[in-house]
Structure 1
Amino acid sequence: MIVLPAIDIQNGHAVRLRQGIKEDSTTYFKDPVEAAKKWAGEGAEYLHIVDLDGAFSGSLSNVDSIGRICRAVPIPVEVGGGIRSEKAIKTYLENGVSRVIIGSKAVEDAVFITEMAGLYGHRLAVSVDAKGDVVATRGWVDNSDKAVVPFVKFLLSIGIRTIVYTDISRDGMLSGPNMEMMEKLQSLPDIRLIASGGVSGISDLKALQKLNVYGAITGKALYEGKVTMEEIRKLSQED
Protein backbone atom coordinates (compact mmCIF):
# COMPACT_ATOMS: atom_id res chain seq x y z
CA MET A 1 0.00 0.00 0.00
CA ILE A 2 1.28 3.45 -0.96
CA VAL A 3 0.75 6.18 1.63
CA LEU A 4 0.40 9.60 0.00
CA PRO A 5 1.00 12.73 2.09
CA ALA A 6 -1.64 15.32 1.23
CA ILE A 7 -0.76 18.89 0.33
CA ASP A 8 -3.87 21.04 0.07
CA ILE A 9 -3.22 24.46 -1.45
CA GLN A 10 -5.35 27.48 -0.56
CA ASN A 11 -4.34 31.07 -1.30
CA GLY A 12 -0.85 29.83 -2.17
CA HIS A 13 -0.29 28.08 1.18
CA ALA A 14 -0.32 24.44 2.33
CA VAL A 15 -3.35 24.09 4.59
CA ARG A 16 -5.78 21.54 5.97
CA LEU A 17 -9.54 21.96 6.10
CA ARG A 18 -12.00 20.37 8.49
CA GLN A 19 -14.79 18.49 6.65
CA GLY A 20 -14.00 20.43 3.46
CA ILE A 21 -15.18 23.78 4.87
CA LYS A 22 -13.06 26.44 3.16
CA GLU A 23 -13.40 28.91 6.03
CA ASP A 24 -12.17 26.32 8.56
CA SER A 25 -8.53 25.99 7.54
CA THR A 26 -5.16 25.73 9.28
CA THR A 27 -1.98 26.85 7.50
CA TYR A 28 0.98 24.48 7.95
CA PHE A 29 3.42 25.79 5.32
CA LYS A 30 3.54 29.21 3.71
CA ASP A 31 5.05 27.61 0.60
CA PRO A 32 3.63 24.22 -0.45
CA VAL A 33 6.93 23.38 -2.17
CA GLU A 34 8.53 23.20 1.27
CA ALA A 35 5.87 20.72 2.38
CA ALA A 36 6.55 18.60 -0.72
CA LYS A 37 10.30 18.64 -0.10
CA LYS A 38 9.79 17.66 3.52
CA TRP A 39 7.63 14.63 2.79
CA ALA A 40 9.71 13.51 -0.18
CA GLY A 41 12.89 13.93 1.85
CA GLU A 42 11.42 11.75 4.59
CA GLY A 43 10.63 8.91 2.20
CA ALA A 44 7.20 9.53 0.66
CA GLU A 45 6.65 7.51 -2.52
CA TYR A 46 3.88 9.68 -4.00
CA LEU A 47 2.27 13.04 -3.20
CA HIS A 48 -1.43 13.92 -3.27
CA ILE A 49 -2.04 17.59 -4.13
CA VAL A 50 -5.40 19.37 -3.99
CA ASP A 51 -5.99 22.81 -5.45
CA LEU A 52 -8.63 23.91 -2.95
CA ASP A 53 -9.14 27.25 -4.67
CA GLY A 54 -9.79 25.38 -7.91
CA ALA A 55 -12.17 22.95 -6.22
CA PHE A 56 -14.40 25.82 -5.14
CA SER A 57 -13.99 28.04 -8.22
CA GLY A 58 -13.63 25.52 -11.05
CA SER A 59 -10.52 27.28 -12.38
CA LEU A 60 -6.88 26.27 -12.15
CA SER A 61 -5.67 28.59 -9.41
CA ASN A 62 -2.37 27.04 -8.34
CA VAL A 63 -0.79 25.61 -11.50
CA ASP A 64 2.47 27.49 -10.92
CA SER A 65 2.86 26.20 -7.37
CA ILE A 66 2.05 22.65 -8.43
CA GLY A 67 4.50 22.84 -11.33
CA ARG A 68 7.18 23.98 -8.88
CA ILE A 69 6.39 20.99 -6.66
CA CYS A 70 6.75 18.58 -9.59
CA ARG A 71 10.15 20.07 -10.45
CA ALA A 72 11.31 20.12 -6.83
CA VAL A 73 10.74 16.47 -5.87
CA PRO A 74 11.87 13.19 -7.48
CA ILE A 75 8.61 11.34 -6.80
CA PRO A 76 5.31 11.27 -8.72
CA VAL A 77 2.54 13.74 -7.93
CA GLU A 78 -1.21 13.41 -8.38
CA VAL A 79 -3.43 16.50 -8.47
CA GLY A 80 -7.13 17.20 -8.05
CA GLY A 81 -9.36 20.21 -7.54
CA GLY A 82 -11.33 22.11 -10.18
CA ILE A 83 -10.24 19.99 -13.14
CA ARG A 84 -13.26 20.18 -15.44
CA SER A 85 -11.90 20.23 -19.01
CA GLU A 86 -9.46 18.38 -21.24
CA LYS A 87 -7.40 21.57 -21.38
CA ALA A 88 -6.99 21.44 -17.60
CA ILE A 89 -5.89 17.80 -17.78
CA LYS A 90 -3.31 18.63 -20.44
CA THR A 91 -2.08 21.66 -18.51
CA TYR A 92 -1.26 19.58 -15.46
CA LEU A 93 0.31 16.73 -17.42
CA GLU A 94 2.47 19.24 -19.27
CA ASN A 95 3.56 20.68 -15.92
CA GLY A 96 4.89 17.33 -14.71
CA VAL A 97 1.89 15.85 -12.90
CA SER A 98 1.79 12.04 -13.09
CA ARG A 99 -1.91 11.50 -12.41
CA VAL A 100 -4.85 13.90 -12.71
CA ILE A 101 -7.88 13.46 -10.48
CA ILE A 102 -11.31 14.41 -11.83
CA GLY A 103 -14.03 15.12 -9.29
CA SER A 104 -17.23 17.07 -9.90
CA LYS A 105 -17.02 16.89 -13.69
CA ALA A 106 -16.94 13.09 -13.61
CA VAL A 107 -20.10 13.06 -11.50
CA GLU A 108 -21.96 15.60 -13.60
CA ASP A 109 -20.91 14.61 -17.14
CA ALA A 110 -20.79 10.92 -18.02
CA VAL A 111 -19.94 11.64 -21.66
CA PHE A 112 -16.92 13.75 -20.67
CA ILE A 113 -15.41 11.25 -18.22
CA THR A 114 -15.99 8.37 -20.65
CA GLU A 115 -14.15 10.25 -23.40
CA MET A 116 -11.30 11.27 -21.09
CA ALA A 117 -10.93 7.71 -19.81
CA GLY A 118 -10.45 6.55 -23.38
CA LEU A 119 -7.86 9.25 -24.09
CA TYR A 120 -5.82 9.33 -20.90
CA GLY A 121 -6.37 5.95 -19.25
CA HIS A 122 -4.03 5.33 -16.33
CA ARG A 123 -3.08 9.02 -16.12
CA LEU A 124 -6.59 9.70 -14.74
CA ALA A 125 -8.23 8.98 -11.41
CA VAL A 126 -11.67 9.94 -10.18
CA SER A 127 -12.33 11.38 -6.75
CA VAL A 128 -15.50 10.02 -5.19
CA ASP A 129 -16.31 12.34 -2.30
CA ALA A 130 -19.28 11.21 -0.26
CA LYS A 131 -21.66 12.51 2.35
CA GLY A 132 -23.09 9.28 3.68
CA ASP A 133 -23.84 7.18 0.59
CA VAL A 134 -24.28 10.18 -1.72
CA VAL A 135 -21.56 11.60 -3.96
CA ALA A 136 -20.88 15.31 -3.40
CA THR A 137 -19.61 17.89 -5.91
CA ARG A 138 -18.33 21.46 -6.26
CA GLY A 139 -15.85 21.53 -3.42
CA TRP A 140 -18.14 19.24 -1.40
CA VAL A 141 -20.81 21.96 -1.24
CA ASP A 142 -23.48 20.23 -3.36
CA ASN A 143 -24.94 16.73 -3.31
CA SER A 144 -25.52 14.76 -6.50
CA ASP A 145 -28.18 12.14 -7.18
CA LYS A 146 -25.59 9.36 -7.35
CA ALA A 147 -24.95 6.65 -4.78
CA VAL A 148 -21.32 5.70 -4.19
CA VAL A 149 -21.13 2.03 -5.20
CA PRO A 150 -23.17 2.23 -8.46
CA PHE A 151 -21.17 5.30 -9.49
CA VAL A 152 -17.85 3.54 -8.87
CA LYS A 153 -19.07 0.52 -10.85
CA PHE A 154 -19.82 2.86 -13.76
CA LEU A 155 -16.31 4.35 -13.56
CA LEU A 156 -14.73 0.91 -13.60
CA SER A 157 -16.85 -0.05 -16.60
CA ILE A 158 -15.43 2.81 -18.70
CA GLY A 159 -11.82 2.03 -17.81
CA ILE A 160 -11.12 4.24 -14.81
CA ARG A 161 -9.16 2.08 -12.37
CA THR A 162 -7.88 4.50 -9.72
CA ILE A 163 -10.59 5.73 -7.36
CA VAL A 164 -9.92 8.17 -4.53
CA TYR A 165 -12.70 7.71 -1.97
CA THR A 166 -13.25 10.37 0.70
CA ASP A 167 -15.83 10.32 3.48
CA ILE A 168 -16.33 14.08 3.88
CA SER A 169 -17.65 13.81 7.44
CA ARG A 170 -14.32 12.31 8.51
CA ASP A 171 -11.93 14.52 6.56
CA GLY A 172 -9.63 16.48 8.83
CA MET A 173 -11.37 15.06 11.90
CA LEU A 174 -8.87 12.29 12.86
CA SER A 175 -11.88 10.02 13.41
CA GLY A 176 -10.77 7.01 11.36
CA PRO A 177 -11.67 6.02 7.78
CA ASN A 178 -15.06 4.65 6.76
CA MET A 179 -13.94 1.02 6.79
CA GLU A 180 -17.38 -0.37 5.90
CA MET A 181 -17.46 1.54 2.62
CA MET A 182 -13.80 0.75 1.96
CA GLU A 183 -14.58 -2.96 2.17
CA LYS A 184 -17.49 -2.61 -0.24
CA LEU A 185 -15.39 -0.72 -2.79
CA GLN A 186 -12.31 -2.90 -2.41
CA SER A 187 -14.43 -5.95 -3.31
CA LEU A 188 -15.13 -4.54 -6.79
CA PRO A 189 -13.03 -6.15 -9.54
CA ASP A 190 -10.02 -4.29 -10.99
CA ILE A 191 -10.26 -1.31 -8.65
CA ARG A 192 -7.19 0.57 -7.43
CA LEU A 193 -8.66 2.16 -4.34
CA ILE A 194 -7.10 5.10 -2.54
CA ALA A 195 -8.59 5.77 0.89
CA SER A 196 -8.87 9.39 1.99
CA GLY A 197 -10.33 11.15 5.01
CA GLY A 198 -10.13 10.48 8.72
CA VAL A 199 -6.76 8.74 9.12
CA SER A 200 -5.85 9.31 12.77
CA GLY A 201 -2.63 7.36 13.07
CA ILE A 202 -0.66 4.27 12.15
CA SER A 203 -3.42 1.91 13.38
CA ASP A 204 -5.80 3.23 10.71
CA LEU A 205 -3.16 2.80 8.03
CA LYS A 206 -2.52 -0.78 9.19
CA ALA A 207 -6.26 -1.51 9.00
CA LEU A 208 -6.39 -0.15 5.45
CA GLN A 209 -3.33 -2.18 4.51
CA LYS A 210 -5.11 -5.33 5.70
CA LEU A 211 -7.89 -4.54 3.24
CA ASN A 212 -5.22 -4.59 0.51
CA VAL A 213 -6.16 -1.17 -0.85
CA TYR A 214 -3.79 0.38 -3.38
CA GLY A 215 -3.17 3.56 -1.39
CA ALA A 216 -4.09 5.77 1.54
CA ILE A 217 -3.89 9.54 1.87
CA THR A 218 -2.92 11.16 5.15
CA GLY A 219 -3.05 14.87 5.85
CA LYS A 220 -3.80 16.25 9.30
CA ALA A 221 -2.46 13.18 11.13
CA LEU A 222 0.90 13.64 9.42
CA TYR A 223 1.05 17.41 9.86
CA GLU A 224 0.21 17.16 13.55
CA GLY A 225 2.55 14.26 14.32
CA LYS A 226 -0.15 11.64 14.92
CA VAL A 227 1.73 9.48 12.42
CA THR A 228 5.30 9.88 11.17
CA MET A 229 7.00 9.17 7.88
CA GLU A 230 9.26 6.73 9.73
CA GLU A 231 6.20 4.71 10.75
CA ILE A 232 4.89 4.92 7.19
CA ARG A 233 8.19 3.70 5.74
CA LYS A 234 8.16 0.71 8.09
CA LEU A 235 4.58 -0.05 7.12
CA SER A 236 5.41 -0.01 3.40
CA GLN A 237 8.28 -2.44 4.01
CA GLU A 238 5.78 -4.94 5.48
CA ASP A 239 3.87 -5.20 2.19
Structure 2
Amino acid sequence: MNIIPAIDLIDGQNVRLSQGDYEKKSQMKRTPEEALEFYAGYKSVTRIHVVDLMGALKQEALESNLVKKLSELSSLPLEIGGGLRSLETIGKYHEMGVEYFILGTRAIIDVPWLTEAVKKFPGKIFVGVDAKEDDIYINGWTENSGVKIDEYLAEIEALDLAGIIYTDINKDGMGLGPNFENTARINDLTRHKVVASGGVRNKADLDKLESLGITEAIVGKSSHTDEFWEGIE
Protein backbone atom coordinates (compact mmCIF):
# COMPACT_ATOMS: atom_id res chain seq x y z
CA MET A 1 0.00 0.00 0.00
CA ASN A 2 1.39 3.37 -1.05
CA ILE A 3 0.67 6.15 1.43
CA ILE A 4 0.15 9.69 0.16
CA PRO A 5 0.13 12.13 3.09
CA ALA A 6 -1.85 15.34 2.65
CA ILE A 7 -0.67 18.87 3.27
CA ASP A 8 -3.68 21.20 3.08
CA LEU A 9 -2.90 24.89 2.81
CA ILE A 10 -4.71 28.04 3.91
CA ASP A 11 -2.72 31.29 4.10
CA GLY A 12 0.53 29.32 4.02
CA GLN A 13 -0.44 27.22 7.03
CA ASN A 14 -0.81 23.45 7.27
CA VAL A 15 -4.45 22.86 8.26
CA ARG A 16 -7.24 20.28 8.15
CA LEU A 17 -10.97 20.73 7.68
CA SER A 18 -13.73 18.43 8.90
CA GLN A 19 -16.10 17.30 6.12
CA GLY A 20 -14.70 20.08 3.96
CA ASP A 21 -16.22 22.76 6.22
CA TYR A 22 -14.08 25.90 6.12
CA GLU A 23 -15.55 26.91 9.48
CA LYS A 24 -14.14 23.72 11.06
CA LYS A 25 -10.45 24.37 10.51
CA SER A 26 -7.68 23.05 12.74
CA GLN A 27 -4.00 23.86 12.43
CA MET A 28 -1.55 20.95 12.30
CA LYS A 29 1.48 20.83 14.59
CA ARG A 30 3.99 20.76 11.72
CA THR A 31 4.50 23.53 9.18
CA PRO A 32 4.18 22.48 5.53
CA GLU A 33 7.98 22.37 5.28
CA GLU A 34 8.32 20.28 8.46
CA ALA A 35 5.59 17.90 7.32
CA LEU A 36 7.34 17.40 4.00
CA GLU A 37 10.58 16.41 5.74
CA PHE A 38 8.77 14.13 8.21
CA TYR A 39 6.88 12.17 5.53
CA ALA A 40 9.99 11.69 3.39
CA GLY A 41 11.38 9.40 6.11
CA TYR A 42 8.94 6.58 5.31
CA LYS A 43 9.41 4.08 2.47
CA SER A 44 5.64 3.65 2.11
CA VAL A 45 5.25 7.31 1.18
CA THR A 46 5.51 7.60 -2.60
CA ARG A 47 4.34 11.18 -3.17
CA ILE A 48 2.87 14.15 -1.30
CA HIS A 49 -0.69 15.42 -1.76
CA VAL A 50 -0.87 19.23 -1.57
CA VAL A 51 -4.19 21.10 -1.65
CA ASP A 52 -4.71 24.85 -1.99
CA LEU A 53 -7.98 24.97 -0.03
CA MET A 54 -8.75 28.62 -0.62
CA GLY A 55 -7.77 28.16 -4.24
CA ALA A 56 -10.47 25.51 -4.53
CA LEU A 57 -13.01 27.87 -3.00
CA LYS A 58 -11.96 31.02 -4.89
CA GLN A 59 -11.41 29.16 -8.19
CA GLU A 60 -7.79 30.25 -8.66
CA ALA A 61 -4.33 29.19 -7.53
CA LEU A 62 -3.50 31.16 -4.37
CA GLU A 63 -0.61 29.19 -2.82
CA SER A 64 1.65 28.92 -5.87
CA ASN A 65 4.64 30.59 -4.16
CA LEU A 66 4.55 28.11 -1.28
CA VAL A 67 3.94 25.20 -3.64
CA LYS A 68 7.03 26.23 -5.62
CA LYS A 69 9.06 26.23 -2.40
CA LEU A 70 7.74 22.81 -1.39
CA SER A 71 8.51 21.42 -4.83
CA GLU A 72 12.09 22.63 -4.53
CA LEU A 73 12.44 21.14 -1.04
CA SER A 74 10.76 17.80 -1.71
CA SER A 75 12.63 14.60 -2.49
CA LEU A 76 9.29 13.01 -3.41
CA PRO A 77 6.89 13.85 -6.28
CA LEU A 78 4.13 16.32 -5.45
CA GLU A 79 0.53 16.28 -6.63
CA ILE A 80 -1.31 19.60 -6.43
CA GLY A 81 -5.01 20.31 -6.28
CA GLY A 82 -7.22 23.33 -5.60
CA GLY A 83 -7.92 26.12 -8.06
CA LEU A 84 -6.58 24.42 -11.20
CA ARG A 85 -9.09 25.83 -13.68
CA SER A 86 -6.86 26.55 -16.71
CA LEU A 87 -4.15 24.89 -18.78
CA GLU A 88 -1.99 27.92 -18.02
CA THR A 89 -2.17 27.24 -14.25
CA ILE A 90 -1.33 23.58 -14.76
CA GLY A 91 1.58 24.63 -16.98
CA LYS A 92 2.92 26.99 -14.31
CA TYR A 93 2.87 24.26 -11.69
CA HIS A 94 4.54 21.90 -14.18
CA GLU A 95 7.33 24.44 -14.66
CA MET A 96 7.79 24.49 -10.86
CA GLY A 97 8.52 20.78 -10.94
CA VAL A 98 5.14 19.57 -9.67
CA GLU A 99 4.64 16.12 -11.18
CA TYR A 100 0.90 15.44 -10.87
CA PHE A 101 -2.21 17.61 -11.05
CA ILE A 102 -5.56 17.04 -9.38
CA LEU A 103 -8.45 18.47 -11.35
CA GLY A 104 -11.82 18.77 -9.68
CA THR A 105 -14.53 21.30 -10.42
CA ARG A 106 -13.79 22.16 -14.04
CA ALA A 107 -12.91 18.55 -14.87
CA ILE A 108 -16.32 17.48 -13.57
CA ILE A 109 -18.42 20.06 -15.41
CA ASP A 110 -16.29 20.46 -18.57
CA VAL A 111 -15.13 17.06 -19.86
CA PRO A 112 -13.95 18.49 -23.22
CA TRP A 113 -11.55 20.76 -21.28
CA LEU A 114 -10.39 17.79 -19.20
CA THR A 115 -9.77 15.86 -22.42
CA GLU A 116 -7.62 18.74 -23.70
CA ALA A 117 -5.68 18.88 -20.43
CA VAL A 118 -5.03 15.13 -20.52
CA LYS A 119 -3.73 15.35 -24.09
CA LYS A 120 -1.26 18.01 -22.97
CA PHE A 121 -0.26 16.20 -19.75
CA PRO A 122 -0.88 12.48 -20.41
CA GLY A 123 -0.63 10.22 -17.38
CA LYS A 124 -0.13 13.20 -15.07
CA ILE A 125 -3.71 14.15 -14.17
CA PHE A 126 -5.79 12.77 -11.34
CA VAL A 127 -9.49 13.58 -11.36
CA GLY A 128 -10.85 14.39 -7.92
CA VAL A 129 -14.24 12.75 -7.47
CA ASP A 130 -15.47 14.32 -4.23
CA ALA A 131 -18.88 12.99 -3.31
CA LYS A 132 -21.70 12.73 -0.84
CA GLU A 133 -23.27 9.35 -1.56
CA ASP A 134 -23.36 9.30 -5.40
CA ASP A 135 -23.47 13.07 -5.98
CA ILE A 136 -20.20 14.75 -7.01
CA TYR A 137 -19.54 18.10 -5.32
CA ILE A 138 -17.53 21.03 -6.69
CA ASN A 139 -16.14 24.47 -5.75
CA GLY A 140 -14.38 23.39 -2.57
CA TRP A 141 -17.14 20.84 -1.84
CA THR A 142 -19.68 23.62 -1.40
CA GLU A 143 -21.95 22.89 -4.38
CA ASN A 144 -23.64 19.80 -5.80
CA SER A 145 -22.56 19.48 -9.44
CA GLY A 146 -25.66 17.53 -10.44
CA VAL A 147 -23.35 14.83 -11.85
CA LYS A 148 -23.53 11.23 -10.59
CA ILE A 149 -20.37 9.16 -10.03
CA ASP A 150 -21.34 6.27 -12.31
CA GLU A 151 -22.23 8.38 -15.34
CA TYR A 152 -19.12 10.52 -14.92
CA LEU A 153 -16.75 7.57 -14.71
CA ALA A 154 -18.21 6.16 -17.93
CA GLU A 155 -17.62 9.49 -19.66
CA ILE A 156 -13.90 9.67 -18.76
CA GLU A 157 -13.06 5.98 -19.02
CA ALA A 158 -11.04 6.31 -22.24
CA LEU A 159 -8.82 9.20 -21.06
CA ASP A 160 -5.12 8.70 -20.24
CA LEU A 161 -5.41 9.67 -16.57
CA ALA A 162 -3.02 9.05 -13.69
CA GLY A 163 -6.06 7.90 -11.73
CA ILE A 164 -9.24 8.79 -9.85
CA ILE A 165 -9.08 10.20 -6.32
CA TYR A 166 -12.33 9.28 -4.61
CA THR A 167 -13.21 11.18 -1.45
CA ASP A 168 -16.33 10.57 0.62
CA ILE A 169 -16.88 14.11 1.94
CA ASN A 170 -18.92 12.87 4.91
CA LYS A 171 -15.96 10.76 6.05
CA ASP A 172 -13.22 13.33 5.52
CA GLY A 173 -11.52 14.54 8.68
CA MET A 174 -13.98 12.71 10.93
CA GLY A 175 -11.78 9.81 12.07
CA LEU A 176 -14.52 7.28 11.29
CA GLY A 177 -12.75 5.27 8.60
CA PRO A 178 -13.10 5.43 4.81
CA ASN A 179 -16.17 4.50 2.80
CA PHE A 180 -14.90 1.00 2.02
CA GLU A 181 -18.05 -0.10 0.20
CA ASN A 182 -18.18 2.77 -2.27
CA THR A 183 -14.41 2.80 -2.79
CA ALA A 184 -14.53 -0.88 -3.78
CA ARG A 185 -17.57 -0.27 -6.01
CA ILE A 186 -15.86 2.57 -7.84
CA ASN A 187 -12.72 0.46 -8.24
CA ASP A 188 -14.86 -2.19 -9.96
CA LEU A 189 -16.49 0.40 -12.24
CA THR A 190 -13.33 1.77 -13.86
CA ARG A 191 -10.05 0.63 -15.40
CA HIS A 192 -8.35 3.66 -13.86
CA LYS A 193 -6.35 3.42 -10.65
CA VAL A 194 -8.59 4.45 -7.75
CA VAL A 195 -6.93 6.30 -4.88
CA ALA A 196 -8.83 6.18 -1.59
CA SER A 197 -9.22 9.45 0.30
CA GLY A 198 -11.13 10.60 3.35
CA GLY A 199 -11.31 9.05 6.79
CA VAL A 200 -8.24 6.78 6.83
CA ARG A 201 -7.37 6.31 10.51
CA ASN A 202 -4.70 3.63 10.83
CA LYS A 203 -2.86 0.69 9.34
CA ALA A 204 -5.93 -1.52 9.73
CA ASP A 205 -7.84 0.79 7.39
CA LEU A 206 -4.97 0.63 4.90
CA ASP A 207 -4.91 -3.17 5.10
CA LYS A 208 -8.65 -3.36 4.48
CA LEU A 209 -8.40 -1.04 1.48
CA GLU A 210 -5.57 -3.18 0.12
CA SER A 211 -7.74 -6.29 0.48
CA LEU A 212 -10.32 -4.53 -1.72
CA GLY A 213 -7.77 -4.00 -4.49
CA ILE A 214 -6.82 -0.42 -3.62
CA THR A 215 -3.07 0.25 -3.84
CA GLU A 216 -2.89 3.92 -2.83
CA ALA A 217 -4.48 6.00 -0.08
CA ILE A 218 -4.33 9.69 0.77
CA VAL A 219 -4.07 10.20 4.52
CA GLY A 220 -4.91 13.58 5.98
CA LYS A 221 -5.46 14.31 9.65
CA SER A 222 -4.18 10.90 10.84
CA SER A 223 -0.86 11.33 9.03
CA HIS A 224 -0.04 14.22 11.36
CA THR A 225 -0.06 11.92 14.40
CA ASP A 226 2.86 9.78 15.53
CA GLU A 227 0.44 6.93 16.37
CA PHE A 228 -0.55 6.48 12.73
CA TRP A 229 3.00 5.64 11.71
CA GLU A 230 3.51 2.89 14.29
CA GLY A 231 4.23 -0.34 12.40
CA ILE A 232 4.63 1.48 9.07
CA GLU A 233 7.98 1.70 7.34
What secondary structure sits across from 1:41 in the alignment? coil
Q: CA deviation at 1:31?
A: 3.2
Mapped to 1, the partners of 2:161 and 2:71 lie a distance apart of: 23
1:185 is displaced (CA, Å) by 1.3
Alignment partner of 1:198 is 2:199: yes
Identity over aligned residues, as a percent? Answer: 34
Structure 2 gap segments, 5+ residues each: none
SS at match of 2:61: coil
SS of aligned partner of 1:139: coil
Indicate yes or no: 2:35 matched with 1:38.
no
Give the Cα separation in 1 of the matches to 2:72 and 2:29. 18
Structure-2 separation of matches of 1:47 and 1:62: 16
Question: Take 2:31 and 2:24, find their aligned partners in 1: how far apart are those partners?
Answer: 19
State how far apart, in whole Å, the 2-side matches of 1:124 and 1:161 are.
5
Structure 1 residue 120 displacement after superposition = 1.1
Contact 1:200 1:226 survives alignment (8 Å): no
The AA in structure 2 aligned to 1:162 is G
Match of 1:84 in 2: 85
In structure 2, the residue matched to 1:102 is 103
Contact 1:16 1:25 in 2 (8 A): yes
Task: Give deviations 1:45-103, integer Å, cap 9, x for gaps.
Answer: 21111111101111111111111111112111111011000011101111111100100
Other-structure match for 2:63: 62
SS of 1:217's partner is strand
Per-residue deviation, residues 160-215 of structure 1 (Å, max 9, x unmatched): 24000000000000111111111111113421111000111111111111122231
Deviation at 1:224, TM superposition (A): 3.1
- Give the direction of change, closer, same or farther, for the CA distance of 1:31–1:136 in structure 2 (3 Å limit): same
Check the 8 A contact 1:55/1:138 in 2, yes or no: yes
Question: Is 1:143 the counterpart of 2:137 in the alignment?
Answer: no
**C-alpha displacement of 1:41:** 2.7
Contact 1:4 1:47 in 2 (8 A): yes
Gaps of 5+ in 1: 234-239
1:13, 1:30 within 8 Å by CA — same for their partners in 2?
no
Aligned-pair CA distance for 1:125 = 0.9
Q: Say if 1:18 and 1:189 are closer, same or farther in 2 by CA, change over 3 A.
A: closer
Q: How many residues align?
A: 232
TM-score in terms of structure 2 length: 0.95
1:16 counterpart SS class:
strand
Displacement of 1:11 in angstroms is 1.0
Asked if the contact 1:8/1:52 (under 8 Å) is kept, the reply is yes
Normalised by the length of structure 1, the TM-score is 0.92
| 1:61 alignment partner, SS class | coil
| Structure-1 residue corresponding to 2:172 | 171
Question: Moved runs in structure 1, 4+ residues, more than 3 A?
Answer: none
Match of 1:160 in 2: 161
Using the TM superposition, name which of 59-68 and 97-106 deviates more: 59-68
Rounded Cα–Cα distance in structure 2 between residues aligned with 1:177 and 1:41: 25
Read off the aligned partner of 2:2 and give its amino acid letter: I
